[in-house]
Amino acid sequence: MTNTTDNVSSEKIMKFWDKDEIRHLNEQFEEAEPYSVLKWIWENFGDEAAMGTGFGPSGILLTHIVAKSDFDLPIFYLDTGLFFSETYKLRDELEKKFDLSFVRVSTDLSVKDQEIEYGSELWKRNPNKCCFLRKVLPLKNYMADKKVWITGVRRSQSDTRKDTQLFEWDPLNEVIKVNPLATWTTQDVWAYIRLNELPYNPLHDDGYPSIGCIPCTHRVQPGDHERAGRWGGLDKTECGIHLPTQNDGSV
Ligand code: SF4
Q: Cα of 35 to ligand 1 centre, how many Å?
A: 31
pLDDT on residue 14: 43
Contact 186, 197 (CB under 8 A): no
Would you say 148 and 74 are in contact if contact means Cβ atoms under 8 Å apart? no
DSSP 3-state of 171: coil
- Reported residue count of the chain is 251
Phi, psi dihedrals of residue 148, rounded to the nearest 5°: -135, 135
Q: Measured in angstroms, how far is the CA atom of residue 5 from the centroid of ligand 1?
A: 28
- pLDDT given for residue 231 in this prediction: 59
Tell me 51's DSSP state: E
* Beta carbon of 134 within 6 Å of any ligand 1 atom: yes
Atom of ligand 1 at shortest range from CA of 123: 7
pTM over 0.95: no
Of the residues 130, 131, 213, 239, which is catalytic? 239
239 is catalytic: yes
Cross-strand partners of 176: 148, 169
C-alpha distance across the termini of the chain, in Å: 9
Q: Is 90 helix (H, G, I), strand (E, B) or coil?
A: helix
- Distance separating alpha carbons of residues 23 and 29, to the nearest angstrom: 10
Nearest ligand 1 atom to the CA of 134 is 5
Q: What pLDDT, on the 0 to 100 scale, is given for residue 228?
A: 72
- Tell me, using a 6 A CB cutoff, whether residue 123 lines ligand 1: yes
Cα atoms found within 13 Å of the Cα of residue 42, Cβ hemisphere only:
17
Average pLDDT, consecutive stretches of 10 residues, N- to C-terminus, the chain (251 residues)? 41 62 93 97 96 97 96 97 98 98 98 97 93 96 96 88 92 93 96 98 93 91 75 67 58 37
CB atoms within 10 A of CB 33: 11
CB distance 131 to ligand 1 below 6 Å: yes
